[in-house]
Chains A and B, each alone.
Chain A
């Protein structure tokens, strides 16, 4: 049997290895799952990890899906680092899409090209408003940001649904719940002609740099992290917990809103009830698997994007439901959390109970009364 023993300090090696272990475990479970379902596991792995990167088109799609994940996860990383549990990024993403889309439907073919900037700013504002509600309620009334931010996801979803079924419905859209197709002037400029990848990728990569500087090289970023790790120390140092909370929520709301606006004005080109694709929730996993570090987030977002594309391919090629993506996403986070135990604890293999009887009383007592052998 074995027991866990606290390490004197967290292992840096394990902190890097843990996501790798987690991915390996997820893969093993994936192989087992494919076998149980009577599919060739090699085909499964091929569809998830080779197919998406085989062609230029595949790589472009990979970037299209990774972009919102990176953006949202960067914001969430700031939140989680300051111990604010914003789990409603999906709602902030939807509000970003609504605000950005609201600007876009009013643009015409003759609008100035700079309308794109306006759309993105509106999207950020939308996300910030939604996260701001969470911040106000937490600040003024001490409500749990976990539950409020999550409830607001459902509210945002209904708001979007109301708009596309009601006032914003395309009058010439055969009664489909969708807005008009936005004017071509609102289209986020494409990176390469013929591919769906747009300059959103560059925006995301630039923000990765900005976040690295903010988190690791600015005083405000330092204050946020101290507040998250040791609230008492932060209070003693005179760092404002309120300001940290507001900053974290507004930043993450703004990022999710930006992602939403980029999505509607980019790949989608109109508002539909299918704008929310679960990026806000997947980004939570991306942030954790990426170790709340900007570079790690880019890597984990790429992996998660493969899961999305692999899920779609698994549906057409292997006849598996698309929701297999969600299964893998959840498994990955589970595996990561379990592996993370190794960062702060090490496994000690213990001898049999009889041999342990000679151990010091306190240790034996603790083990016995807790059944702490596993």
Chain B
């Protein structure tokens, strides 16, 4: 019973970084833009957050630094993709490659650093409940923020006028442009918001999840988050579900090792990546199914007046 509570708690913890990043990517993909730079943004934000955490000792400032870093990198990406009309895939890839190199470069000084000991978090009353308490209510606040964000995003996309505009731009930027919406500015806003959330996810990894800085520590989570948006057919609630599913797969390796299962650790480390491929295969099997849900202009450039 207690063991199960620990598994649930660690799954939520592991899934949160994925959820934050994937929800961010969902926003910019809803506006029709794919940002393959998620991995790079998360890495640079991870070191920015960690460095801020070490210097100031404040978690909140670390998260702000991470989000700001992600937003700034996404801004550079957005200006190039939206105004200079560069190829989205190539530019995102450039962001990821740059982020990998840059984070390793600035992170060298921080590989030996440690963050101050943090105390456990616990919600009053709820945290004291048997089983449910340790499983759900003794998490870092960011875990609940991710859940709230998914709910808020669901409301925004399907129940608010601005969300409708965002979706319209993702479906047909030409029509939205003809209606007088500032397509490019809204797209940029969506991209920057997505970057900020990826940055938050990166900072969560280095400040709360590990909490350490190791070169390349995001370990493909940015790419898995990209796959999650497809898996979730661009719906916030399903993104959250998918993120916890993958969090669970990540935790499975530690659980199996703890249980003394005789298998080389490499096979277990492989699990999340193989699971991503399997999930992509299952989801993409029927192209019609993906196409119904996918923002129609996803990945396509929009350049008014050409």
A residues near B (Cβ < 8 Å) are: 4, 6, 85, 87, 137, 141-144, 146-148, 150-152, 154-155, 158-159, 161-162, 165-166, 281, 284-285, 288, 321, 323-331, 333-334, 337-338, 340-341, 344-345, 363, 366-367, 369-372, 374
User: Is there an interface contact between A331 and B273, defined as CB atoms closer than 8 Å?
Assistant: no
Known A155-B270, A363-B305, A370-B182; judge A330-B104 contact (CB<8 A): no
* Closest-CB distance, B149 to chain A (whole angstroms): 23
- Contacting A324 at CB < 8 Å: which of B83, B95, B105? B105
| Cα(A341)–Cα(B104), bound, Å | 29
* Closest-CB distance, A93 to chain B (whole angstroms): 16
* Closest-CB distance, A368 to chain B (whole angstroms): 10
Residues of chain A within 8 A of B180, CB atoms compared: 369
| Cα(A333)–Cα(B80), bound, Å | 12
Residues of chain A within 8 A of B36, CB atoms compared: 146
Residues of chain B within 8 A of A150, CB atoms compared: 220, 223
A146, A151, A334, A341 interface centre (most CB from chain B within 10 Å): A151
* Closest-CB distance, A98 to chain B (whole angstroms): 13
User: Is there an interface contact between B266 and A151, defined as CB atoms closer than 8 Å?
Assistant: no
| Cα(A284)–Cα(B90), bound, Å | 9
- Contacting A371 at CB < 8 Å: which of B102, B185, B277? B185
User: Is there an interface contact between A159 and B266, defined as CB atoms closer than 8 Å?
Assistant: yes
Residues of chain B within 8 A of A281, CB atoms compared: 97, 100
Size class of the contact patch on chain B: 35 or more
User: Is there an interface contact between B98 and A146, defined as CB atoms closer than 8 Å?
Assistant: no
* Closest-CB distance, B85 to chain A (whole angstroms): 6
For the complex of A and B, the 6 pairs showing the least CB-CB separation, nearest first, are: A326-B101, A330-B98, A323-B104, A162-B266, A333-B94, A341-B84
Query: Closest residue to A138 on the B side, CB-wise?
Result: B284
User: Is there an interface contact between A154 and B305, defined as CB atoms closer than 8 Å?
Assistant: no
Tell me what chain A mostly uses at the interface: helix, strand, loop, or mixed: helix
| Cα(A329)–Cα(B97), bound, Å | 8
* Closest-CB distance, B59 to chain A (whole angstroms): 27
Known A165-B266, A285-B97, A370-B304; judge A338-B108 contact (CB<8 A): no
* Closest-CB distance, B36 to chain A (whole angstroms): 7
User: Is there an interface contact between B273 and A337, defined as CB atoms closer than 8 Å?
Assistant: no
| Cα(A331)–Cα(B102), bound, Å | 10
Residues of chain B within 8 A of A141, CB atoms compared: 280-281, 284-285
* Closest-CB distance, A182 to chain B (whole angstroms): 22
- Contacting A155 at CB < 8 Å: which of B76, B227, B273? B273
Tell me what chain B mostly uses at the interface: helix, strand, loop, or mixed: helix
- Contacting A330 at CB < 8 Å: which of B85, B94, B267? B94
User: Is there an interface contact between A372 and B99, defined as CB atoms closer than 8 Å?
Assistant: no
User: Is there an interface contact between A337 and B287, defined as CB atoms closer than 8 Å?
Assistant: no
* Closest-CB distance, B295 to chain A (whole angstroms): 15
B83, B89, B227, B277 interface centre (most CB from chain A within 10 Å): B277
- Contacting B102 at CB < 8 Å: which of A151, A155, A326, A344? A326
Known A147-B223, A151-B276; judge A321-B105 contact (CB<8 A): yes
User: Is there an interface contact between B105 and A327, defined as CB atoms closer than 8 Å?
Assistant: yes
- Contacting B280 at CB < 8 Å: which of A6, A147, A327, A345? A147
Check B13 for interface membership: any CB of A closer than 8 A: no
| Cα(A158)–Cα(B273), bound, Å | 10
Check B183 for interface membership: any CB of A closer than 8 A: yes
With A158-B267, A369-B177 given, name 16 new contacts (CB 8 A).
A141-B284, A146-B36, A151-B224, A151-B227, A154-B220, A155-B270, A155-B273, A161-B266, A165-B264, A285-B94, A323-B215, A326-B104, A326-B105, A337-B84, A344-B85, A371-B182
Q: List 15 A-B contacts (CB under 8 A).
A: A162-B264, A321-B104, A326-B98, A327-B105, A330-B95, A330-B98, A334-B76, A334-B91, A334-B95, A334-B98, A366-B304, A366-B305, A369-B180, A370-B182, A372-B184
* Closest-CB distance, A160 to chain B (whole angstroms): 9
Query: Closest residue to B287 on the A side, CB-wise?
Result: A142
* Closest-CB distance, B227 to chain A (whole angstroms): 5
| Cα(A326)–Cα(B108), bound, Å | 13
User: Is there an interface contact between A158 and B284, defined as CB atoms closer than 8 Å?
Assistant: no
* Closest-CB distance, A218 to chain B (whole angstroms): 26
User: Is there an interface contact between B177 and A142, defined as CB atoms closer than 8 Å?
Assistant: no
Residues of chain B within 8 A of A152, CB atoms compared: 273, 277
Check B219 for interface membership: any CB of A closer than 8 A: yes
| Cα(A334)–Cα(B81), bound, Å | 11
Residues of chain B within 8 A of A334, CB atoms compared: 76, 80, 91, 94-95, 98
Check B5 for interface membership: any CB of A closer than 8 A: no
- Contacting B86 at CB < 8 Å: which of A142, A144, A340? A340
Known A150-B223, A326-B105, A370-B182; judge A341-B85 contact (CB<8 A): yes
Known A154-B273, A327-B105; judge A337-B284 contact (CB<8 A): no
Check B226 for interface membership: any CB of A closer than 8 A: yes
| Cα(A146)–Cα(B220), bound, Å | 13
Known A147-B226, A281-B97; judge A158-B266 contact (CB<8 A): yes
- Contacting B93 at CB < 8 Å: which of A87, A331, A366, A374? A87
Check B60 for interface membership: any CB of A closer than 8 A: no
| Cα(A159)–Cα(B183), bound, Å | 45
Residues of chain A within 8 A of B264, CB atoms compared: 162, 165-166
* Closest-CB distance, A2 to chain B (whole angstroms): 11
Query: Closest residue to B275 on the A side, CB-wise?
Result: A151
User: Is there an interface contact between B104 and A370, defined as CB atoms closer than 8 Å?
Assistant: no
| Cα(A321)–Cα(B40), bound, Å | 18
Residues of chain B within 8 A of A158, CB atoms compared: 266-267, 269-270, 273
Residues of chain B within 8 A of A366, CB atoms compared: 304-305
Check B87 for interface membership: any CB of A closer than 8 A: yes
- Contacting A338 at CB < 8 Å: which of B86, B269, B276? B86
User: Is there an interface contact between A155 and B274, defined as CB atoms closer than 8 Å?
Assistant: yes
Residues of chain A within 8 A of B277, CB atoms compared: 137, 143, 147-148, 151-152
Interface residues in B163-177 by Cβ distance below 8 A to A read: 177
Mark B279-298 against chain A: 1 for CB-CB distance below 8 A, else 0.
01100110100100000000
Interface residues in B135-158 by Cβ distance below 8 A to A read: none
- Contacting A337 at CB < 8 Å: which of B91, B181, B304? B91
